[in-house]
Each structure stands twice: as structure tokens, then as C-alpha cells.
Structure 1
């Protein structure tokens, strides 16, 4: 029988990762308990235990089965290797006649069947983007992981090793060292550096899989793959199994120690916990502690010790006016933290690993002046009683009481527009009043910053909410209501595709015109589905050929959309939701990336950029993030910079410019970034970000690490800043 390429088998398994995120691996050759299986209902999907011909088994995806059946198979004994090979050979043995000779007609039929199957597989792969990641990148020889003289010898099969890049081999060695030392750790490579294949190569080594022994068991399984949601629901059952190792993909989801997911995953019975994530820390330094404390409990001490010894000094040492003693203390704690993390975490960036194979990336921020109509609506929104209640919360109450407004008469806002709807069933307010207004008000301000159509009622909402949203739109549009086509959501093609009342779309129009003339291919991201609808009409009006992918796109169509965009020279734009995730969204044919609206979480925008800037990209990638100048989006961006700086300091030990006075989660030093009053400031007549940079330069804190240039886009009133 022709040797089977183990790597090609594993490639088919990778497709599961779009929805399956937790790998629970049982001990090789050891029977697992099944006493906890009865509470889980079995589904009706068929699961045959009869061996099938290997030629058919290779191309099949893993059969669907219930969680209980997977665990039952974990509890069954494994067939010896010789019996597995014998069983496989029985399925693929060529037919013989009674004298033991092969029947020629049957042989021809067998060969034709195999040829037909190979053609079918070729047809399935036709059109898929060849990223080069599956080509041979090294010699055809195994990668030995075990120490000299160690028995048995643990090695990655040659069929996998020859396709690994050097940084991936280093990652596999790191994973095996964690495994050998019986503790957990984090593989924190940038998105697109192949964390999945590194995990697969590691498993192939420790389970002693090679091209001769394909891991197909008919009476037992070694690996259980499940999703976060399934594990959260059935964690009490799965936690009764003694797992050899657990691998959690998108491990940053374990950032909140109080979440049900974190608590469920903490019950997994194994010391060998491996997390895979490209964003080890997203918002706060304490998230780093939570992840490391899950993979290697106690590695960073107690939670309170970590907060006092690392978190607080690092944050206060980053203040723009921090005393020199604070800065020195922060530097020492940073170096100490990085040294501790090195034992439990391997973190590499694209620049460090495959930068020499790519043409580089440039990240730009475009401050787009809002249209005059947008500015009027934005200011009108800030004057609503709902927001004024939040802005004036700490002022003395007007009733003469010594209490603050938020503690006295202004705790509730019955004369507001947003508050009455939120509390339609509780006119006395809620325990969080008036802070329950913060998020709804920010959502409305962000919608105004992006496009005025977004604040109008959504026809898919309940009638009561549509009525309230129409009332809100009328209140903030005021006398300009006719300019925006009324307070009801419009489907007028010409009106929605017009850019005159949207500052960002005016800038986008000019940028895209210059790119299209040069043959650039563009990724256009937005967080809002309604904004994607508007942008789609804009693209149609301008005559751009485009594809679109959002949460409503069926999973089985996503890869074909990606392949079509990458392979078709005529497709100019890929319109995509920032929240669209999943494996395979490698849009490497695009060399221009536009993020229409920023996200509070910087990792979301970074992941969006990396859809294009990853292995296989042959052109220089330029990213443009559009911000509504003078809106709270500038504050969102500044907080993104702040969070990214903290991540660079805590995770990578980098030195960052000290731009901001604000300190996260510190009421004493809210500065220009934090606190409710900052969120609802009127910034419409100033360039907030520019002022911070200019102040930094005047104070003489420039160290040559940041170069900022500004220029006017032709006739757009838009300020362009390159960072």
C-alpha cells in the first residue's frame, strides 16, 4: 500500500478548528473511566465501528458523534499497532482469486476506483489558495524532541517536519519541554504563524504517529475535540477523566477568572495545560495573570501578590508625569516579570519570524472630519438629559442637599430619552442608575460618528423599541431631520450611497479611487452589519467589484468566497465584518486594509489587519484606520494605544513612550483617558490625539521611537496621521 501522508490527514482535521476549540487528549494506551457517561443524552447520528477501506477512510472527515460516544471510545482499549495495520491492510488489500493470484479485472477496477477518488480530491482542492505553508520547507527527516539518551525517542515525523518553518520547529520543542516537565504554558505567537500546526506536530510526536502508523483506531480514540460552549455545559462530566494534556485554542477567552468558562476549565484534571493565543493580553495586565494561572497554577504567585508587585507598578510607571522613582521601579518589575514568563510562555511576532519572507506592513490612522450635519447631531446628543446626568453626577445637588447629584435627585432621569425606555418596567430605576446609561449612550455616539443612518429605528426590532428609537432620532436631528430623509430607516439607494453627510465615507471615496487606479485589492472592515449594508450600496454605486462576508454567511460558503477573492483579479474589494472569525480567512491577495470603525478591544482590529498580513502575502500591506475626528472615537483609539503599550511592556518587556496621564482602574489618576466625564466630552472642535502628541513633544519626552506626520487629503478636510 502506498505510504500515507500524515500531514494531509491532519490538514483535514484543521477545518474543525473554526468551531471546535478545546483538545482533550487521553493517555496513550491507557483505558479511561466511563462511569460519568450516563447523564449525557446520545444523539441519533450513526457511528460505525466496522473497519472501512483505507482509501475511503483517508478522505473522510471525522464522523459526528455525541459526547458520550466519544467518551465511551476513550474508555475502550486500543488495538495493538500490528492489529491496526492488519485491519487497515484488510480494508485495502487487493482482491485475489482462489489460487492466491490477483484477479486482473478486479485489480483494474480497484485502480480505477482509486484514480477516481484521487480526481475527486483534486476537484475538492481546486481553487484553494496555495499559501506555500504546505510546501516542503526543510529536509525530509524527523525532528527529534527528546534529550540525548532519553528512551523512547520522541520525534516529529519527517512527513510533518519537512513542512515546518524554523520558528514552528522551535515552538514544537517548547511545547514538548512543557509536556516533559509536567506543567502547562502558552504558545503566544502572532496570528498567522501556525500555532495550530505546531500543536499538531507536537501531538504527532508524543503519540508516536508517523507515515507508517496512521492514528486510526476502531476500538478507541486518543483525542477528544470539543467547543468552548460544549465544555462549559458538560464540564462536570469531562472533568472526571484524567487527561494527559489539554490544548485550548483562543486561550485569551480565559481572561476573566469569574466567568463560567474559566471556572469549568479550571476543573480539568491535568497539570499539562497548553493555551494557544495570538493576544495573550487584551485589555488589562490582570488578564495575563488569569491566563498564566490557568495553564500553570501558582506560577505567578497569588492574585493579590501579582496585582501589588507587577500590575500597579507597571501602570503607574507609565504615567506621562510619573516620578523618576516610579519609572525605575516599573522597569525592574517589568524585567522580572518577563524573566518569569519566559519559562511558561513563548511569544513571537511576524517581524521576528517570517518578516524576511514578507514585504512589511504600515499602520496608518486617518482622522476624518465629521460633516457639519454630523457635528450638529453629535453636539445635540451630548445635551440630552441622559448624558448631562452622567457628566454632572459629582456636582452638588440643586435641591440644597449636601449630597452629590448622583446620590440625590439626579439618580434617575425620567425626563430623558434613553432612560425611560431602559426602565419602562421599573420607573424607580435600578441598582446601577444612572451608570446603566453609559453603554447605550456610547453606542449612540459611535453610530453618529460613523453614519447618521445608524441611529434610526431598525425594522427588525420590536415595535416598542422602534418607536423609542424614532423619538430619539427626532430629538437629536432636530430641524435637520429632513436633510437625513426623516427619522425612519431609509432604503433609498441613492441617499444611502451618497457620501456628503458622512465624513468617513468622504475620505474612503478618495482613498479607494487612488487605490483602484493602481490595481490594489482592498479589505474593508466594519463592526456594524447595517454599516456593511450602506458600504455595499456605496461600492455598487461606484462600480467596484466586491465580495461580502459577515455573521450571516453560511460556514460552508466562506472558504469559497475567500478563494474566489484571492484568485480573481477582477475582485477589487472584500467587505467583511470585524467580528467574522474562523480558520481559513486568509485574504492575502489584498494589500490595502481599511477598518471603518475602531473597536474598544485593540485585539479585534489587529486580528482584522492580520487577515491580509500573514504568511503568503507577496505585497507591502498598508492599513488605514478611520476615526471620526473630535468624537469619542479618538478616545477609543487612545485607549487602544494605552492597552497595546501595557501589553508590550508586560508581555514583551518593551520600552514605550509615556503619552498619557491616565491610569487604568485608578480614580485618582483618570487623566485624559478614563472616567465618564472624559467619555462624554465635546471634542468636536479639537484634534484630541494630536494635542496629546504635541504635549508629549513639548515636554521633551520624545525618544525617536514615534514618528508622526500630517498632511491634508485633497479637498476632503481630513487629517491623515501615520503612526
Structure 2
């Protein structure tokens, strides 16, 4: 009788992609926890590499241990890892990504503002992906967007950042319970109770990006707020104008290193609006970039 596993089209490739992800996320953790005791075949088995065929495609690769580029140096053209996607940034998008990269290097929180249609989503994804691929940050990155735009964000991440493992954290109570149990960490016991949004007891998460809605930021704060986020991205950030909103108050309790706000509502050089935006998400020394097509 033929092996049942072989009857499932794409199963073997999916399993190998899973092992790639595990290796990419846990390579450092395995090395530290075993203190060099497991080598060769033992370590390969730990990372799921033992059964891999040499010609098998890789989906996920770990980033460099140290930065390999200078964020102060502008891109004259997009890097090879973006060329490999078959997609190209427009010149004004390249300028926006350069500005975001420079601001990150300076530790300056940012607001990317302009009318809809200029590709703020693409610029943001290319920016986060560049930090990862060039060794400046391994994440994790928290992206909070309106529920109606999540499908678009998923599609753009798949196209522009194929090495990213993106977890979409939405759904009813049971759905989110499954996500917490299976998608947040490879470590046993990292999530104490999957049925309830409790603190994650690990710093080695399974994903690169957690894509979620405003509502989940507030509802599951106990879980999501227990992680240290390398970057927070808030889409349609003009909704944060009131510093008395629940979303604003909850975000202030999250442990976030860097913040990027996106808005398609023109700020019109209004200093009062600048002040509202700067205080709404505790942006320190923030810069606002308003590109034109």
C-alpha cells in the first residue's frame, strides 16, 4: 500500500518549510541550550535538517547575526532580496524606505503620511524586511490595522517579504486559542493556557510579524503585551487622535522599541495635528514624512 503521506500533494514541501522555519527561529536557542553538546547529526535532527534532500527548496532563512549594512547610506536601487520577489519599488517609494531606514538608525519614531494609493503598505513591509534581511533586527514586529485591510496586508507580505513568517491574529475566542497554542512559539509550555490569553513565557517566538486588528490589541493585552516588540506599526493612525481612547491607553502599556504610524489623511502642515499625532502614541522626537507622487 502506498504511503498515505505521499497522496497529499505538497505535504513533503510543507514539512520541509516547517523545518526551515524552526531552524531559522531556533538555531541560536538550540545552540545555547545544548551548550555545544549536540553536534552533527544530533543537531541536524533537532533542527529538522536530517531528512532534507539537498535539492529541496528553502522557504525561510535566518538573518545575519550582525548588521551587514549602514542604515545611513541611501539605497540607490532596491537590494537583491527585493529583486528576487520579481517586484520593483517606485522611485518615491524607494525614497520613503530610505527615510524610514535612516530614522530607525537614529532611533527616531516616524509617521508616514499621504493620500491613499502611494503604497505606504509596501514601503512599510520593505522597510521591516530590510531590517531583518540585513541583520538590524530579528523582530518580532507588531502590525495593527483595521480588520477590513488585513487581507490586503497578508497579500503584500506574501509578495514582498517571502522570508517572513506572518501570523494573522484575529478571529473568535476559539480561533485565537488555536493560534496561541500552535503559532506563537516552538517551546513547550511557552503558553500556559491556550484557552485564555495569558502571558507568553518565552523570548524566542515562532513568527517574525504578528498582524492583528485594533480590537485584539485591547482584548488580548495579557498575551500580546507580554512580549517585547521591536517595532509597532499602526495603519490608519488618524484614529489615534484622542489620547483618551482605549486603544491609545492599552498601547502605552505595551513594551515597544520603535513606532511607525501610517495615515492616508493629509496632515496639512497643521502644528496642532502634529502635536496630537506625536502624543497619541508616545512618539519621541518623531518625524513626519509626507511624500508626493
Cα distance in structure 2, aligned partners of 1:253 and 1:57: 42
- CA distance in structure 1 between the partners assigned to 2:102 and 2:81 by the alignment: 14
Correspondence for 2:107? 182
Unaligned runs of 5+ in 2: 1-9, 29-42, 57-68, 74-78, 136-159, 167-184, 187-205
Aligned equivalent of 1:164: 89
Q: CA deviation at 1:280?
A: 4.8
| 1:216 to partner: Cα distance | 4.9
1:223 matches 2:170: no
Partner of 1:297: 283
> 2: distance between equivalents of 1:345 and 1:90?
50
How many angstroms apart in 1 are the aligned matches of 2:91 and 2:49?
A: 34
* TM superposition shift of 1:77: 8.8
- Per-residue CA deviation, residues 34-84 of structure 1 (Å, 9 max, x unaligned), is xxxxxxxxxxxxxxxxx95446998xxxxxxxxxxxxxx99x992339979
The equivalent position to 1:345 in structure 2, one of 270, 281, 288, is 288
> In 2, are the aligned partners of 1:183 and 1:296 still within 8 Å (CA)?
no
Q: Matches of 2:101 and 2:222 in 1, distance apart?
A: 28
CA gap 1:55/1:233 in 2 versus in 1, 3 angstroms: closer
2:172 is the alignment partner of 1:247: no
2:22 is the alignment partner of 1:79 = no
TM-score, normalising length from structure 1? 0.22
Cα separation, partners in 2 of 1:200 and 1:296, compared to 1, 3 Å: same
Deviation at 1:165, TM superposition (A): 0.2
The aligned counterpart of 1:304 is none
- Alignment partners' CA distance in 2, 1:159 and 1:221: 22
**Mapping for residues 645-684 of structure 1, pairs under 5 Å:** none
Does residue 221 of structure 2 align to residue 235 of structure 1?
yes
Work out whether residues 53 and 92 of structure 1, in 8 Å CA contact, stay in contact via their aligned partners in 2: no
- Contact kept, 8 Å, 1:187 with 1:275, in 2: the verdict is yes
Cα distance, 1:347 vs. partner? 0.6
Match of 2:142 in 1: none
Deviations 1:436-458 (A, max 9, x none): xxxxxxxxxxxxxxxxxxxxxxx
Say if 2:259 is the partner of 1:273. yes
* Corresponding residue number in structure 2 for 1:473: none
**Mapped partners of 2:122, 2:279: distance in 1:** 25
Residue 197 (1) aligns with residue 197 (2): no
Q: 1:88 to 1:158 in 2, by over 3 A?
A: farther
Contact between 2:236 and 2:263, CA under 8 Å: does it hold in 1?
Answer: yes
Q: 1:162 to 1:223 in 2, by over 3 A?
A: closer
Any conservation in 1 of the 2:115–2:265 contact (CA below 8 Å)?
Answer: yes
Matches within 5 A, 1:504-543: none
TM-score by length of 2: 0.51
Larger radius of gyration: 1
Q: Distance in 1 between matches of 2:222 and 2:243?
A: 18
Instruction: Determine the structure 2 residue equivalent to 1:214.
Output: 163
Give 1:161 shift.
8.6
Aligned counterparts of 2:89 and 2:251: Cα–Cα separation in 1: 30
Using CA pairs below 8 Å that are at least 6 residues apart, which structure has the higher relative contact order? 2
Distance 1:166 1:264, change over 3 A: same
